[in-house]
Homo-oligomer: A and B are copies of this chain.
């Protein structure tokens, strides 16, 4: 059976004048790939009847059209009337949509307005799909056997509806070609050196598998993926290729799932029943933010002291002010004092600390912008390293955060190895 053609249309002037970056298309592409489908194109257009009609008409060679955006309660949304024109139908009141809007307003404790009632007016011939994430409706319409599914443009709502409601319906309606992927997370080796190390293996991969290199902030994700009608054969081939790959680069692999490094640290700590705390200067709370995005992080994370102002390193963390005066705030001595200090203060098994110059100003000859010291303290003592993460502030913060988790991961492993030996 041949693969179906799937197109995405994103509606919204804000996407075309650059006020909002369209992240929905990439997200939908990723979800579809994972489910054995393939996104063929993604078109962004403005809030204009002509643009919408032209875009719909250009989809008459597709099997499935996923439309996002243009369904809010305000006047700039002209999608629904245009949908009626294209599908030769008219708006009518939909009780189920109305009840959903009422329940959302009740839950949030807000009063409903006439305008919100208007959101329950839907094209007569559409199949209404409930959106429990917001008041905009989700709709399923067909023309010449082509399915058009409409979702709100707000990413949080779109993602929820797609996963909960649309994807199951799509899977039921269309044939998916089994797809599988394996992600191997590596760190400590650059993309081209990695490529050289695995070239012999990569050159002999079967045709239906492909390898992608995804470098990001001091790590390289390897994604080995493929499609095959025989799902079992696909899975077995992937597994055996991954085993060969692991044998070649085992020392650089830190996870076999596509997950951020803080997730790996979280899993390790949960497993060992241990905890950590952070003392953050240049990372400004980003280590804490990353770990606390994980549900259940309170099991492994005690807390953080962001000591942005220098005197707080002394007052909160107990780093002697003489140490700061003598060695400077961006130094091995200070980062080690911070790591040890927060470990004691928060009564954690591990304390991780950062101090550096995120930029754009504040650099010196000795410590140019991008210089970051990272330290990890535990009952065993404290280790620290100096890095330079470049000139761009957000980049420095992100790279320092990832490296702090990587150093923490290594210390957790070292700690356990010693305990075992």
Which residues of A approach B to under 8 Å, CB–CB? Answer: 13-23, 25-31, 33, 38-47, 51, 55, 58, 72-76, 108-110, 113-116, 154, 156, 160, 181, 190-193, 195-196, 202, 210-215, 221, 223, 225, 258, 275, 280, 283-289, 291-293, 295-298, 301-309, 311-312, 315-316, 345-347, 358-361, 388, 392-395, 397
A293 to B225, CA, bound (A): 36
A116 and B192: CB pair below 8 A?
Answer: yes
With a CB–CB cut-off of 8 A, which chain B residues contact A31?
18
How many copies are assembled? 2
B305 and A192: CB pair below 8 A?
Answer: no
A156-B395, A293-B284 known; A30 vs B43 contact (CB < 8 Å): no
B41 and A51: CB pair below 8 A?
Answer: yes
With a CB–CB cut-off of 8 A, which chain B residues contact A304?
285, 288, 304-306, 308
A302 to B284, CA, bound (A): 10
A308 to B154, CA, bound (A): 30
B16 and A39: CB pair below 8 A?
Answer: yes
A40-B16, A113-B192 known; A72 vs B285 contact (CB < 8 Å): no
Q: Does more than half of chain A's interface fall in helix, strand or loop, or is it mixed?
A: mixed
A202-B75, A289-B285, A298-B309 known; A26 vs B18 contact (CB < 8 Å): yes
A347 to B316, CA, bound (A): 11
15 contacts between A and B (CB under 8 A): A16-B25, A16-B41, A17-B30, A18-B26, A40-B51, A42-B44, A74-B191, A75-B202, A115-B195, A154-B215, A160-B392, A286-B289, A293-B393, A303-B308, A315-B345
A289 and B284: CB pair below 8 A?
Answer: yes
A213-B74, A312-B346 known; A284 vs B295 contact (CB < 8 Å): no
Query: Separation in Å of the A54 CB from the closest CB of chain B?
Result: 9
A280 to B47, CA, bound (A): 41
B292 and A308: CB pair below 8 A?
Answer: yes
B43 and A29: CB pair below 8 A?
Answer: no
A14-B214, A192-B74 known; A360 vs B295 contact (CB < 8 Å): yes
